[in-house]
Structure 1
Amino acid sequence: MPKRPVTDYAKRFKIFRKYKDLTQIQIADVLGVTQPAVQKWESGATDLSIEIIQKLRDKLNMSLEWFFTGKGTKEFVAAKSSIMKDMATILTDSEMTKFRLQTLEENYKKLHAEFHAFKHGVKD
């Protein structure tokens, strides 16, 4: 099976870890996972789950806008007004929905390809 390309999310995860001056072991401890899990995320072998992304936001103050779009600052900066906060929440929810949809689409394509490979590999 060919190696998966490293996604922008995987790249931003690694950038953020280094920005926070954390080793793979240290960030694994913060997130409650193993160092090999962190290595797999950074290499693109596996995708970060929504739960892990939320932990990055909650425990390390990572900006979801930056994580999903690459725009803005790496760390969350509190909004000055409730309207700004509401807009940030809507954007975050929208980006998380896009991320979930992208993950579902990738899984569908993989399953579809595996099904066709299986179907054509079976002889009647």
Structure 2
Amino acid sequence: MGFSERLKESRKQARLTQVEIAEKLGISQPAYASWERGTKKPTQENLVKIAQILNVTIDYLVGNFDEEITNNKLEDIEILFRKNSEGLTDEEKSLFRQELIAFMEERKKLFEKDD
């Protein structure tokens, strides 16, 4: 799955329209739509804002994650995060996400030792 697909999927999971997210970013809806179509890429600044608005990591959006978190592990973490982070402050959400990733990596290490 590429950036544009992850972006669209994350927006839908956040239950936002293209118009709503474009307004939050201070850009036009057609400019945002070009990112979801894959014809253009957002600036680094807008990428950071998108990740914050959608409560996902930049690494998830762009597909830059370690081999240790591949094979749908990142998607699993995002699902766990979304289901359990409602009502948390932005700071608490950030800490919670980091703890989930660390937990998944430690579990993987434990299972590898048993093999």
Give the TM-score category using the shorter length.
0.5 to 0.7
Structure-2 separation of matches of 1:79 and 1:63: 10
Counterpart residue number, 1:31: 25
Structure-2 separation of matches of 1:78 and 1:39: 28
With normalisation by structure 1, the TM-score equals 0.51
Q: Is the contact between residue 13 and residue 67 of structure 1 (CA under 8 Å) also seen in structure 2?
A: yes
Q: Is the contact between residue 25 and residue 50 of structure 2 (CA under 8 Å) also seen in structure 1?
A: yes
> Gapped runs of 5+ residues in structure 2?
64-71, 83-93, 103-115
What's the RMSD between the two structures over aligned residues? 2.5
Aligned identity (percent) is 29
Q: Note if 1:22 corresponds to 2:16.
A: yes
- AA partner of residue 39 (structure 1): A
With normalisation by structure 2, the TM-score equals 0.54
* Counterpart mapping for 1:1-124 below 5 A: 8-69=2-63, 71-72=73-74, 73-74=77-78, 77-80=96-99
Shift of 1:19: 0.8
- The count of corresponding residues between Structure 1 and Structure 2 is 76
> Gapped runs of 5+ residues in structure 1?
1-6, 85-124
Deviations along 1:5-42, whole A, 9 cap, x unmatched?
xx811111111111101111011011111100111111
